Structure 1
Amino acid sequence: MPFALVRSRTALVVVDAQRGMAEREAAGERRNQPGAEGRIARLLGAFRAAGAAVIHVRHDSVEPGSRLRVGLSGHAPLAEARESAGEPVLHKSANSAFIGTDLEARLRGAGLTTLAICGAITNHCVETTARMAGNLGFDTLLVRDACWTFDRTGPDGDHHAAEDIHAMTLANLHGEFARIVRADEVVAALG
């Protein structure tokens, strides 16, 4: 269903779109949404052209062996998600972009009430950020085709495909925490 966004009250929040995600894939981890990075680039282009807010979030992992540790190549942004001059980059070490950052104060101070969230990983930091945004009263849009996840093995040893994890995450968030939308819809809504 078509919708409109008020540019002056809407922000694109790009979560953990870092090279460590590509390194995981290169190391043989299977993921869904191979075109997600291109859609993130398209969203960034649309928000920049519209003069709407863009906020980048990077994960500064404190976990030994994480590809997202500061100083490692995996900590750097993906080429498609690199920030432009003047776009803030917030650094977090928790799953939510709201924990340990000034994201909420920054959004409220700028009068931003609608968030379009994209990035990695759907069922980790993207989901946690979307849940908190919804709980904090933001009109939250989760851009379903501009985020991705990886296959996982559950505690019972069962294998879960990235597509299934992604779909279940969207189903869990839909309606209560966020509206689930596509990148094309968000671009069109910016006008």
Structure 2
Amino acid sequence: MSPPSYSRGATALVLIDPYNDFLSEGGKVWPRVQSIAEEVGLIANLIAIDRAVRAVGIQVFFAPHRRWEPGDYETWQHPNPTQVGIMQRHSFARGTWGGDWHPSFVPKPGDIVAKEHWSQSGFANTDLDQQLRQHGITHVIFVGLLANTCVESTGRYAMELGYHVTLVRDATAAYSKEMMHAAHELNGPTFAHAIVTTSDLLVALKALPQAL
């Protein structure tokens, strides 16, 4: 894959599911991702990317998972295994600390928060595509959780919709090295236009002039 290049007005950072339950000590899902997250430097990389895109004036979007509420999925005919798990452990529960944003990734004024997705794709049954198009976005950089589920599904869907897709291999995490390998070495190359490291991305962003 060729090194990516971006234009300020047509590029967006899409941060997927940056909840305390995923990213914070004490979060319900943190113990399952902690090993990979710490190995790749996930939190530091997400902070560095967030700062870099804001410095050059790239629009930041959030693609959040459905925050669990009592009754969710219980009457569905076909809840998937993840949704069954959410019913049991109440991940990302609305109105709780676990369902709140990690303190380093709270949306700022001017950020765009898409409607919550019920399953894995940030596009399915949300307004993410409409919001991106209304802001003139053609290139999307996906970071967040999980590499082989919501990030992969959202990235694949974006490709189908005609966007240029960038995955950042060390700005995400999964439950195992095998899942990370599948996301970036096996599946990612079938739909992503660029699969980069945080360092690669920061170099590409530094090529843009600082925002006024």
Q: What TM-score comes out, normalization by structure 1 length?
A: 0.86
Distance 1:13 1:163, change over 3 A: same
Q: How many matched pairs? A: 180
Could you give the per-residue CA deviations for residues 27-57 of structure 1, whole angstroms, max 9, x where no partner exists? Answer: 5665313111211111111111111110012
Whether contact under 8 Å (1:58, 1:92) holds in the other structure is yes
Whether contact under 8 Å (1:115, 1:140) holds in the other structure is yes
- What does residue 77 of structure 1 align with? 101
Whether contact under 8 Å (2:42, 2:170) holds in the other structure is yes
Is residue 48 of structure 1 aligned with residue 43 of structure 2? no
Whether contact under 8 Å (1:114, 1:140) holds in the other structure is yes
RMSD: 1.8
Aligned mate of 1:114, from 123, 139, 142: 139
SS at match of 2:64: strand
Whether contact under 8 Å (2:152, 2:188) holds in the other structure is no
Is residue 68 of structure 1 aligned with residue 92 of structure 2? yes
Q: What CA distance in whole angstroms lies between the structure 1 residues aligned with 2:148 and 2:189?
A: 16
Whether contact under 8 Å (1:40, 1:146) holds in the other structure is yes
- What does residue 156 of structure 1 align with? none
Q: Structure 2: state its 5+ residue gaps.
A: 73-85, 208-212
SS at match of 2:94: coil
- What does residue 188 of structure 2 align with? 174
Is residue 188 of structure 1 aligned with residue 203 of structure 2? yes
Distance 1:109 1:165, change over 3 A: same
- What does residue 157 of structure 1 align with? none
Whether contact under 8 Å (1:115, 1:138) holds in the other structure is yes
Q: What CA distance in whole angstroms lies between the structure 1 residues aligned with 2:48 and 2:33?
A: 25
Whether contact under 8 Å (1:11, 1:54) holds in the other structure is yes
Distance 1:59 1:28, change over 3 A: closer
- What does residue 159 of structure 1 align with? none
Q: What CA distance in whole angstroms lies between the structure 1 residues aligned with 2:119 and 2:181?
A: 23
Whether contact under 8 Å (2:169, 2:184) holds in the other structure is yes
Give 1:78 shift. Answer: 1.3
Which has more strand, going by share of residues?
1
Counterpart amino acid of 1:44? Answer: D
Whether contact under 8 Å (2:13, 2:53) holds in the other structure is yes
Is residue 38 of structure 1 aligned with residue 62 of structure 2? no
Give 1:139 shift. Answer: 0.5
Q: What CA distance in whole angstroms lies between the structure 1 residues aligned with 2:58 and 2:102?
A: 21
- What does residue 153 of structure 1 align with? none
Higher mean alpha-carbon deviation, 24-33 vs 86-95, is at 24-33
Q: What CA distance in whole angstroms lies between the structure 1 residues aligned with 2:133 and 2:14?
A: 14
Counterpart amino acid of 2:174? Answer: T
> Percent of pairs identical after alignment?
27
Counterpart amino acid of 2:177? Answer: E
Counterpart amino acid of 2:202? Answer: V
